[in-house]
Structure 1
Amino acid sequence: MRYDKGRKDASRSRIMEVAAQRFRSDGIAASGLASIMSDAGMTNGAFYPHFQSKADLVRESIASALETQSRQLQEALAAGGLELAMAMYLSSEHRDHPETGCASAALLPEIARQPAETRHLYTEGLMKLVRQLAEDMPPHTRDPEGVALGIFAALIGALQLARALEGTELSDRILAAGADAARTLIQQRQGGEVS
């Protein structure tokens, strides 16, 4: 039986949506195709008309997650600048829901083990986020892209630590400390001074 293109596109989107959430919540290695397809409301056989392999699905899911994160970052920066973007990233809501959050914080160790094509695609997506953040740095920031890289490293690390300690007072303190570290990076690079 043949289905129209719209239905095929909708099925593909549904598989990617479920996979992206499953990968971020359970990890790539722990997420089997059978469970992804079941969660998507489809049979295992319906997978292969859309993707050649799980590796293809992983690559496309990561790309989609990074694109979504880029849109969210742009919206946060437009609405409230760096402070709002950092507050949203290091919120308890983001900490408590990895399935819909940052792919980097949820998947970095597994992304490092993916094929070169996936790692390259991840690098491009990450650098798009870094450039967005760099463009919103205060005037006279020395090496805005370097500062943005440092901020991402601080935010991702803080979120990962906070998730490991979720449900504790220390988890909340780590979120606050991550934001303070990011602010310090920005302040140290103001006015062209070397710190």
Structure 2
Amino acid sequence: MRYEKGRKDASRSRIMEVAANRFRGDGIAASGLATIMKDAGLTNGAFYPHFQSKAALVRETVAAALEDQSDQIREALAAGGLDMAIDAYLSTAHRDNPRQGCASAALLPEIAREPSETRQLYTERLLTQVRQVAAELPPRTRNRESVALGIFATLIGALQMARAVDGTELSERILAAGADAARTLNQRDSEASS
């Protein structure tokens, strides 16, 4: 049976979209292929014409999620600078919607257990994002990439903690403290280099 042109691409995109949401919401290990394919409205047998394995799907899904995140970072930086990007990242909306949120905050422990190809791809994409932020730091900032890494680590850790604690009040305090720490890290280093 022949299908219209573009159907295979549409099916592949649908599988990746569903997988990305599942992986970020439920975790990679807890997301079975059968559930992903069912949610995508496809049969299990339709998976293999698109991907060689679940590991390949994870790698491509993580790559796409990080590419989308780079676009979001670029937009936030262009619209309101680093402060706006920090506020958007450590917002209650981002905290409450891990399925559409940062792949790093949702998946880091599992990415660390993925094959080296996936970890290498993650490393490359993370460094792209770090360099985006580093380019926006004040011109006098010493070790711009190191400061940007510290900001990323602070933001990701704060979001993970805010999602993990029991209680909205504490969670919101963690988001606010993370935002303050990220801003302080940037200001302290740029002031020290003045």
Q: Which residue of 1 aligns with 2:88?
A: 88
TM-score (structure 2 length as normaliser):
0.97
The CA deviation at 1:24 is 0.1
Counterpart residue type for residue 113 of structure 1: R
The CA deviation at 1:139 is 2.0
Q: Which residue of 2 aligns with 1:188?
A: 188
Q: Which residue of 2 aligns with 1:171?
A: 171
Q: Which residue of 2 aligns with 1:64?
A: 64
Partners of 1:94 and 1:15 in 2: how far apart?
23
Counterpart residue type for residue 180 of structure 2: D
Q: Which residue of 2 aligns with 1:21?
A: 21
Partners of 1:140 and 1:5 in 2: how far apart?
53
Farther off after superposition, 144-153 or 3-12: 3-12
Partners of 2:167 and 2:11 in 1: how far apart?
36
Establish whether residue 117 from structure 1 lines up as the match of residue 117 from structure 2: yes
Q: Which residue of 1 aligns with 2:2?
A: 2
Q: Which residue of 1 aligns with 2:146?
A: 146
The CA deviation at 1:4 is 3.9
Q: Deviations over 1:73-119 (max 9, x none)?
A: 00000000000000000000000000000000000000000000000
Partners of 1:4 and 1:60 in 2: how far apart?
25
Q: Deviations over 1:31-51 (max 9, x none)?
A: 000000011011101101100
The CA deviation at 1:193 is 3.2
Q: Deviations over 1:141-180 (max 9, x none)?
A: 1111111000000000000000012642000000000001
Mapped contact 2:63–2:125 kept (Cα < 8 A): yes
Q: Give aligned pairs, total.
A: 194
Give the SS at the match of 2:142: coil
Partners of 1:53 and 1:2 in 2: how far apart?
25
Mapped contact 1:142–1:191 kept (Cα < 8 A): no
1:123-142 equivalences in 2 (<5 Å): 123-142=123-142
Counterpart residue type for residue 58 of structure 2: V
After the TM superposition, list the runs of 4 or more consecutive aligned residues in structure 1 that deviate by more than 4 angstroms. none
Gaps of 5+ in 2: none
Mapped contact 1:96–1:166 kept (Cα < 8 A): no
Counterpart residue type for residue 57 of structure 2: L
Partners of 1:101 and 1:168 in 2: how far apart?
18
Fraction of identical pairs, as percent: 73
Mapped contact 1:24–1:106 kept (Cα < 8 A): yes
Partners of 1:56 and 1:5 in 2: how far apart?
24
Farther off after superposition, 49-58 or 135-144: 135-144
